[in-house]
Structure 1
Amino acid sequence: MIFIEHENNRVTSSLHNGERAITAIVKIAQENPNQSIVIYKKGIDTTPVKDAIKNLLQPYVIVSSYNRLHKDLGYVEDSPFINISNAVTYPTWIKSTTAFTIHASLINQLNGQLNDKSNLLYWINSISKLARPLGVLSYQIPVYNSQEDQFDTTTLYRFVKQHYKTRWIFILFMCHMWYEKRFPLYAFAKAQFYKNRSLKLNVEKLQKPQDIISKKDLIYDVVIPTMGRASYLQDVLFDLNKQNRAPKSVIIIEQNACENTTSELDDLRNETYQFKLIHHFTNVTGACRARNEAISYSRAPWILLFDDDVRIEENFSIQVEDFLNRSNAKCVTFACLQYGEIENMQTFKQWESFGSGCSLVHRGVFEKCNFDMALEHGYGEDVDYGMQVRNAGFDVIYAPQIPILHLKAPVGGFRKQYVFPWRIDEIQPKPSPQIMYHRKKNYTHKQLLGYKMVQFFKTYGSFGTKNPYAHHKKYLAAWKQSEKWASQL
C-alpha cells in the first residue's frame, strides 16, 4: 500500500509534495502499477482505515470512509446505494476524500478519460459512479463521518447532468421547486454546458484471478417452495442429484390452499438421492413464509434459494465453489435466464436487487435476514431481502458467468391470485401498498419524493382524465390510500 496525504486538493506528504492531488495520484499509479493507493486528509489517523480495508485490497475494489455527498441525490437515484448505513461496511458508489483507496491498475486504465484536475471529491465519485455498473465493487467503511465532503448545489447539478440520463436534471429541478420552493436556476443553466460521461474499462483484466482467496468445499442446502409443479420439481431434483458437489439437504415446502388435500410429491419422496430430502406439506400459502420455514431447517454453511421450475448444468456447483473461493462473496445471485436469453456481461458486479429463486446465501447472512411477512402474497420481498443483506454488512454480487435456466412454467406456481382488503375500496392505492411499504422501509425520504414525482408523470392519463389539475387530485388521493394500507401491512 502507498499512502498519500492531501489538503485542499494538494499533496502534503513527502511523495510529490505540493502537486495537485489527482496529478500526483496518476503519477504514483504509473510508477507503482501493482499497488493499492490510500489517499487521506491531513491529520487523520490511518490505523482504522488500514484495519477496515485489509480484506478489500483488490484491483476491482474502491473503498472510502463514510459520506453522504449530497442529500438531494435521493431525488434522482432510485437505488439501494443512497440510504447508507454507517454501522457496517456498505456497498455504495458514494465516496469521501477523508480517506479512500483505489488500485493503481484501475487508475492506469482511465488513461485521461476523466479530465478533472482540481476537484478530488468530484473525480473519485465520478470514477466510482461510472465504474460500479461495469464490475468495480465499491464500498464505504464505518470510519470518519465526512460531513464536510459535500457537493454544493451547482456541483450537484453538474454531477447529475454528467452521470444520469438528461431527464433527471429536470426531475431534480422540479423537485427543488415543488418540494423545497427554491429555484436554483444558475446551477440548472450552468449544468447544460456539460456533456454526459461514460467510462471504458477492461474489468475482466481487473477481475482476472490473481490468487485463490480461500480454498473450501461448497457445503450447502437447497430451499425450494413449490405448488402444483411436481413434474418440474422432479427435473430440479434430478439436476441437483447429478452435481459433483451435491447438496447436503434439499428442503421442500409444498403448499396447496385447498383444504383436505394431500401431497402430490409421494413419488418423488420414494426416489433415492445423494442428499437428504426434507419435505413439509401445508395448506397455508405464501412465498415469504415458505422460505423462512425452509431456512429454519437448514444446518449447512450455505443455502441455495431455488425455484421449482429451474434447470442447471452438471458443473453448476463446481462453478459456484470456484467463484466463492476467488471472490470471497457471501451472497451471490446467478444469471437466471429464459430460453433464448443471452447474458453478455462477463464480469461480476454489485447488484441492485436480489433473486429469491436463484441465489446462494451464507449462514452469516441468513441468520441476520428473513423474508418480510408484510410483503406476503405481493411483490418486493426479494428486493427487501437484498436491502437487509446490505444493512447487515454484506453485499449482493451478481455472477453472470454462472447461468440458471428459468422455465417459467405455465402451470402451478407460487403466486396464486390473492384478494387484498383494499380491492373493494373506491379509491385504489397507487403505487401498491407493498411497494409503498418497501420504499418507506428501505429508502430515504427524498428518494420517496423523487419516486412520487416520477410516478406522477408515469401515471398521467391512467385515472381517466388528462386534465392536469384533476390528475393531480386523483393521484394524491391514490398515493394517500397507498400510504394508509402500507402502514397496516
Structure 2
Amino acid sequence: MIVIYHKKNKVVEVKNGEENVVFSGHNIAKTLFELALTFPDKLIAWCHYDLKSNLNIAEFSFIFHHNKIMASYNPFEKEYLSNAIGYVEESPFIKINKKVSYPTWQMSSNVGGIQASVLAALKHQINAINNFDYFLNSLAKLAMPNGVLCYSEPTLLKDFLDTEKKQRSSDFVLFRFVKQHYKTRWTFLLFLNLFLYERRIAFLPLFFSMFYSKRKLKNDSIIEAIQVESKKEVISNGTIDIIIPTIGRKQYLYDVLKDLSKQTYLPINVVIVEQNPLPYSISELDYILGENWPFVIKHIFTHQTGACNARNLALAEVKSEWVFLNDDDNRFDENLLKDVFTNIKKYGVKAISTSYLQLNEIKTDIFINQSSIFGSGNSFIHSGLLQKVKFNKMFEFGYGEDSDFGMQLRNEGVDIIYFPKLEILHLKAPMGGFRTKPVLEWHKDLIPPKPSPTIMLYKILHVRKEQINGYKTILFFKFYKAQTIKNPIRYFSSFKKQWKQSQYWANELKTKA
C-alpha cells in the first residue's frame, strides 16, 4: 500500500511501507495518478498529516477487499459540500451514517484509498485539480454509477477524538459542483430552494457556475474491464430459501414455482404466505400438495392482508444461509440462483438486487453499481441480517416499505449492489379478484394529503430536511399540471394545506409504531 500524507492541500510525504517514495509535485490528485502508473497493483491511500497516528492500516485489507472499492472517512460533523446538496439529490447517499460502512459518493480528503487500477482507468477522464476534496467528490460522483463502489468507512481511523470542525466549502463551490455533475436545471432549483427555505440569495454563485461545463466520463464502460475477486468470505454453506407473498394469483404463482423447480442450483425451502381476507375462505393452491417439488414448500395461509405482514411471516420461517425475496408474478431462467451466488462470491456482498424489468421495457442501467433502491421482489440477502431488519408495518397498504427496508440494511452497514445481467421479468400481473382497496384513515380527510403519508414518513425517517424541502418544491411544480386549480395563488394555498396534512399523518403513523 502507498500512502500520501498531505497538509494544506499539498503533498508532504509519500510512503511505501516504511520507505519514502519520491514525488514530483505538491498537487495531491496528480500524485495519485502518477503513483497509480508507477505501482499499478497497489492500493493508493491518502491521509491528512495530522491524522497520521490515527491511520488504521491493519483494517485496510478488509476494507478494500476487491479492486473496485473507493473509501474515505470524514470524522468531523460537516461534510465538504454543505447539506444544501440535498436540495438537488433525493438519493440515500446524502445523509451519511458515520457509525457504519455507508454507501456514498461524498468523499473526504482526511483519509481514504482507491486501487491503482481504477485511478489508471480514470487518469484521462478527470482533471487533477488542486482542490483535493473537490477532486475526490467529483471522481466518486462520476465513477459510482459506472461500477466503483464508494463508501464512508469509519474503520479507516482509530482512536480519533473530534476536537475541531473542519470548514466546509462555499456556495461558489457548491453551485459549481451542481453545475458540473447534474443537469443545468438543478442549479436554478438550488438557487430557488436556498431562497425559499433559507432566505439566501446566492446570485453570484449561480452566475459564476454558468462558466463551468458539465463533467462526464468519456468512456463510461472503462470501469467494467477491471477484474473483481473479493477476499471477503460471505458464503459458508450456500443454502437458500425463497419467500413469496401471494394473493389471488394462483396460475402466476404456479409458474414461479415451476421456474424454481428448474433451477440448476436448487433452493432448500420455498415459503409461501397466501392471503385471503374472506373470513371462511380456504387455500386455492391445490398444486402445493398435488405435485412433487424438488424443495420443501412451507405454506402459510392467513386472512390478514398486507405485504409487510406477509413478508415478515415468511422471513420468520427462513432457515437457510441466504434468502431470495421473490414475488408471485416473476419469471426467470434456470441459472438465476447459480449466477446470483457467483456474483455474491465475486463481490463479497450480503445484499444484491437484479434487473427487474416489465415486458418491453428497455434496460438503461447497464453497469454493476450501488443501488439507490431496494426491491422486495428481486433481492437476495444474507439471512443473518434478518435479526436486525424487518418490513415496517407503518408502511402497510401504502408506499415505501421496500425503500425503508433498504435503508434499514444500509444503516446496518450493508450495501445493496445491483447486477444488471441477473434478470427477473416482472409480469405486473392483474390483482387477484378478491382484493379490496383498504380504506386508510386519511382517505376520509376533506383535505387529501399530498404526498402519500407513507412517502412523507419515509422521508422523515431517512433523509435530510433539505432533501424533503427539495422534494416539496419539485412536487409543487409537478402536481400543478395534474390538478384542477389553475389559479396560482389558490393552488399554492391548497398545496400547503395538503403538505401539512401529509406531515400530520406521517407523524401519526410514527407515533403509533
Tell me which interval the TM-score lies in, with the shorter structure as reference length. over 0.9
Matched, 1:165 2:183: yes
| Aligned: 1:62 with 2:62 | no
Q: RMSD of aligned C-alpha atoms? A: 2.0
Q: The residue matched to 2:372 in structure 1 has which SS?
A: coil
Contact 1:29/1:107, CA 8 A, preserved across alignment: yes
> Is residue 297 of structure 2 the alignment partner of residue 277 of structure 1?
yes
Calculate the TM-score normalised by the size of structure 2.
0.91
SS at match of 2:459: helix
- Kindly provide the CA deviation profile for residues 51-79 of structure 1, in whole angstroms up to 9, marking residues without a partner as x: 44322323211100136231111111110
Q: Does residue 328 of the first structure (1) align with residue 358 of the second (2)? A: no
When residues 182 and 19 of structure 1 are mapped into structure 2, their CA distance, relative to the original with a 3 A threshold, is: same
SS at match of 2:419: strand
Report the 3-state secondary structure (helix = DSSP H, G, I; strand = E; otherwise coil) of the residue aligned with 1:377: coil
Q: What residue number does 2:113 align with?
A: 101
**Identity of matched residues, %:** 38
> Structure 1 463/313 Cα, relative in aligned 2: closer, same or farther at 3 Å?
closer
User: What TM-score do the two structures reach when normalised by structure 1?
Assistant: 0.95
Deviations 1:15-35 (A, max 9, x none): 317522122111111111121
Greater shift in the superposed pair: 188-197 or 312-321: 312-321
Structure 1 window deviating more from structure 2 (194-203 vs 374-383): it is 194-203
Displacement of 1:461: 4.5
CA separation of 1:157 and 1:411: change in aligned 2, threshold 3 A = closer
Q: Deviations over 1:269-317 (max 9, x none)?
A: 2322221111111111000000011101111111100001112211111
Alpha-carbon distance change, 82 to 345 in structure 1, aligned in 2, over 3 angstroms: closer
Distance 1:237 1:427 in 2: 45
Matched with 1:82 is: 94
Aligned length: 488
Q: Does 1:28 align with 2:48?
A: no
* Alpha-carbon spacing, 1:42–1:17, altered in 2? closer, same or farther (3 Å): farther
Find out whether 1:182 has 2:194 as its counterpart.
no
Query: Which SS does the other structure have where 2:62 is aligned?
Result: coil
Q: CA deviation at 1:266?
A: 2.4
What do the CA deviations read for 1:362-413 (whole angstroms, capped 9, x no partner)? 1232221111101101111111111111001100111111111222222528
Matched, 1:289 2:289: no
Distance 1:275 1:46, change over 3 A: farther
Label 1:212 to 1:9 Cα distance change in 2 as closer, same or farther (>3 A): closer
Q: SS of the residue aligned with 1:12?
A: strand
String of CA shifts for 1:122-143, please: whole Å, max 9, x gaps.
Answer: 0010000111111111000124
Partner in structure 1 of residue 376 of structure 2: 356
Offset of residue 229 of structure 1: 1.1
- Structure 2 Cα separation of the partners of residues 415 and 166 of structure 1: 45
Give the C-alpha shift of residue 481 in structure 1.
0.7
Change (3 A) 1:51 1:453: farther
Q: How far off is 1:470 after superposition?
A: 1.5
Q: Kindly state the Cα deviation for residue 342 of structure 1 after the two structures are TM-superposed.
A: 4.4
Q: Please show how residues 8-407 of structure 1 align to structure 2 within 5 Å.
A: 8-13=8-13, 14-15=20-21, 16=23, 19-45=26-52, 48-57=55-64, 58-66=66-74, 68-69=79-80, 70-142=82-154, 143=157, 147-148=165-166, 150-199=168-217, 200-201=219-220, 202-206=222-226, 208-210=227-229, 214=233, 216-343=236-363, 345-407=365-427
Q: In the superposition, relative to structure 1, how do residues 232 and 464 fare at CA in structure 2: closer, same or farther (>3 Å)?
A: closer
Query: What is the alpha-carbon distance in structure 1 between the residues aligned to residue 112 and residue 477 of structure 2?
Result: 39
1:304 and 1:361 in contact (8 A); partners too: yes
Encode CA deviations 1:58-111: one digit per residue, 9 max, x unaligned.
321110013623111111111000111111010111011000101111111223
Q: Is the CA contact (8 Å cut-off) linking 1:11 and 1:19 kept in structure 2?
A: yes
SS in 2 for 1:63: strand
Structure 1, gaps ≥5 residues long: none
Change (3 A) 1:26 1:440: same
Paired letter, 1:298: V
Misfit runs of 4+, over 6 Å: none
For residues 79 and 347 of structure 1, the distance between their equivalents in structure 2, rounded to whole angstroms, comes to 18
Cα distance change, pair 338–464 in 1 and its aligned pair in 2 (3 A): closer
After alignment, is 193-202 or 62-71 more displaced? 62-71
Q: What is the DSSP-based 3-state SS (H/G/I as helix, E as strand, rest coil) of the residue aligned with 1:459? A: helix
Give the deviation of 1:210 after TM superposition: 4.5
More off after superposition, 6-15 vs 251-260: 6-15
Aligned residue for 1:235, secondary structure, equals helix
| In 2: Cα distance, 1:237 partner to 1:350 partner | 29
Extract unaligned runs of 5+ from structure 2: 14-19
Distance 2:485 2:360 in 1: 40
Distance 2:43 2:433 in 1: 49
* Separation (CA, whole Å) in 2 of partners of 1:441 and 1:355: 19
